Amino acid sequence: MTGRQVLKEQFGAEAEGMFDVIVVGAGPAGAAAAYWLGEAGCRVLILEKAWLPRYKPCGGAVPAGGLKLLPFDFAPIVQTWVRRVRYSLDGHEDVSYDLPGPGVAMVMRDRFDAFLVAQSRAEVRDGVAVEAVVEDEAGVTVKAATGESLRGRYLIGADGANSRVAWALGLRRARIFTGAIEAEAPAPAHLLAEYANTGLFRFRSVHYGYAWVFPKGDHLSIGVGGFIKDRLDLRGALRREAQRLGLSLDGVPIHGHPLPIYCYPEPVHSRRTLLVGDAAGMVDGFIGEGIRYAIHSGRLAAQTILTGDIAGYSRLIQRELGHNLTWARRCGHVFYRFTDFCFHHGVRNPRTTRVLIDVLNGRRTYRDAVWPVLGCIVESLMRGI
Ligand SMILES: Cc1cc2nc3c(=O)[nH]c(=O)nc-3n(C[C@H](O)[C@H](O)[C@H](O)COP(=O)(O)OP(=O)(O)OC[C@H]3O[C@@H](n4cnc5c(N)ncnc54)[C@H](O)[C@@H]3O)c2cc1C
């Protein structure tokens, strides 16, 4: 049975002009959900408030395991691969390691997101901001800023950290935001060569967070993110990071966006609406990763609509992703509170990076990573004695 037949069985004949699913937001979460629903034969409409392709402030780091969640060849839109990682403790100490496996893909989000949307069979309408959502027995009515009303049997809220859909339905009212800012900085040839396949993480350059330098082929992405709300001087930290590299950010636009950190299980669905990605608060509180969780939650939402078990969606999200994200936040709390200790006895051990890469590729959870990392720390302490 196709997805359309499944939905017809659930609801009977479709009304004129009604979509099976309306997806609000054309980021990776919405595009992934639209892709899987389209593959199952559903009639899907994506509404996106920006004109596509649109810029999205993001480091654009996607582990190979994140790309594997979708059956596409991403080669045309990967800027470069990070195969070596460099860690620094506020500029005083540096260690670097080669990454196992293919490494981490570096993408520009305008190209990446547009590529994902193009793979879906959805009808796409950009430049349409959703303002209100009303659910009823037979479906969902979405009201757009253009004045139109659109009907769907189901709605997927993939509209990011400041989700209008979540707000309209009274979901995620107590969300916790931190923030990150980023600049796409032109760099001289020697710096582009130095960072060609290397990603830098500098800890303690900002309170409870880190600064990064990621290669993007013809420029560098320099950014800073923090994982608690207070005492975040992100702009100051970004400027310091640029100075360290000998770069000027004069005239370079600096973009920021909230990070909706996952904190605890909470409802991310209502009668006919499912939240995905940042709209559902799916950002890791240790390193700020969100793209992989966006894609994964998009797939879970599509599966849920096709099986009709809407009531089980929030539980499914918690089981499949939320549990891991809770542990990410716990690891973040320990790491950023005891950064010096964790750096000297954990980060400096190459095995810790291998464990983290396993987590990023979905081969282990943060919880499963705790014991091996503790093992690295004990080993380091014993060596000291
Ligand atoms: C500075 C920064 C750096 C980051 N770096 C990384 C990184 O390196 N790796 C990583 O994995 N994660 C990173 N993240 C997190 C990552 O960007 C997000 O987790 C990811 O974009 C979530 O995808 P999404 O599809 O849920 O939402 P988004 O990508 O935010 O997409 C939401 C879409 O919805 C649209 N929209 C919003 N409101 C409406 C509306 N009312 N009507 C219609 N459309 C609407 C928006 O225009 C947008 O296109 C970073 C975040 C920041 C802020």
pLDDT in tens, 95-146: 999 999 999 999 999 999 999 999 999 999 999 999 999 999 889 999 999 9
Q: How much of the chain is in helix, strand and coil states, percent to nearest 5?
A: 40, 25, 35
pLDDT digits (tens, 9 = 90+) for 367-383: 999 999 999 999 888 88
- Give the chain's mean pLDDT: 94
Distance from residue 109's CA to the centre of ligand 1 (Å): 9
Which residues is 126 bridged to in the sheet? 48
What is the per-residue pLDDT for 174?
74
Distance from residue 11's CA to the centre of ligand 1 (Å): 32
Q: Which atom of ligand 1 is nearest to the CA of 47?
A: 43
What is the per-residue pLDDT for 46?
98
pLDDT digits (tens, 9 = 90+) for 74-96: 999 999 999 999 999 987 778 99
Distance from residue 383's CA to the centre of ligand 1 (Å): 43
What is the per-residue pLDDT for 114?
98
343-358: average pLDDT: 94
Distance from residue 262's CA to the centre of ligand 1 (Å): 14
What does the alpha-carbon distance between residue 259 and residue 261 come to, in Å, rounded to a whole number?
A: 6
What does the alpha-carbon distance between residue 251 and residue 183 come to, in Å, rounded to a whole number?
A: 10
User: For 310, which DSSP code?
Assistant: G
22-27: average pLDDT: 98
28 Cβ below 6 A of ligand 1: yes
Q: With 90 as the cut, is the pLDDT of residue 313 above it?
A: yes
Q: Which of 126, 155, 291 to mutate to test the pocket of ligand 1 (most atoms within 8 A of CB)?
A: 291
166-181: average pLDDT: 89
Q: With 70 as the cut, is the pLDDT of residue 12 above it?
A: no
6-15: average pLDDT: 67
What is the per-residue pLDDT for 17?
80
What is the per-residue pLDDT for 380?
87
Q: What is the pTM of this model?
A: 0.96
Burial class (CB in 10 A: 0-12, 13-18, 19+), 92: exposed
Pick the range with the lowest mean pLDDT from 53-67, 147-161, 228-242.
Answer: 228-242
What is the per-residue pLDDT for 13?
59
Distance from residue 160's CA to the centre of ligand 1 (Å): 5
Q: With 90 as the cut, is the pLDDT of residue 16 above it?
A: no
48 Cβ below 6 A of ligand 1: yes
